[in-house]
Amino acid sequence: MAERTLSIIKPDAVSKNVIGEIIKRFESAQLKIVAIQMRHLTKKEAEAFYDVHRERPFFDSLATFMSSGPVVAMVLEGENAVAKNRTLMGATDPKKADKGTIRADFAGSIEANAVHGSDSSASAAVEIPFFFSRLDLVR
């Protein structure tokens, strides 16, 4: 069953010029990009996206980081897209991320960790419409 997930290349990875390297990993893993956009979020927009983390101590810093430069948001489609993307990403803390994962290779810190990926298909169903309308999704 094809599944969809939201991926974001975060400001740190965009500024390191590794958008292509990261997208190559998704494509090599048979994940298909069915929507893509680059945008510079406002702090309010970043706060709204990460609303589930509002009570966490790092929330304000995270929203500041996520609005510090442009991001690339994508919808990835494929078999087990949510879990497959999380495996490609690696652990939240790049120091704990498996060798060869996106975060191990491109992330600088637990906050500036290169990529976001939906953690479940329920989260994807909320996160995809945050960035994309039905008409933006190619079929």
Q: Show binding-site residues for ATP.
A: 10, 58, 86, 92, 103, 113
Q: 130 touches which of ligand ADP, Mg ion, none (CB within 5 to 8 A by kind)? A: none
Do 115 and 103 meet the contact criterion of CB atoms below 8 Å apart?
yes
Catalytic residue at 116?
yes
For helices 19-28 and 81-89, give the axis angle rounded to 10 degrees. 130
Q: 107 touches which of Mg ion, ligand ADP, none (CB within 5 to 8 A by kind)? A: none
d(CA 139, CA 136): 10
Is the sign of the CA dihedral 74, 78, 82, 88 positive or negative? negative
The single residue among 19, 110, 126, 137 that binds ligand ADP, judged by CB under 6 A, is: 110
Closer to ligand ADP by Cβ: residue 119 or 136: 119
The single residue among 4, 25, 84, 116 that binds ligand ADP, judged by CB under 6 A, is: 116
The single residue among 62, 63, 88, 102 that binds ligand ADP, judged by CB under 6 A, is: 62
d(CA 63, CA 3): 28
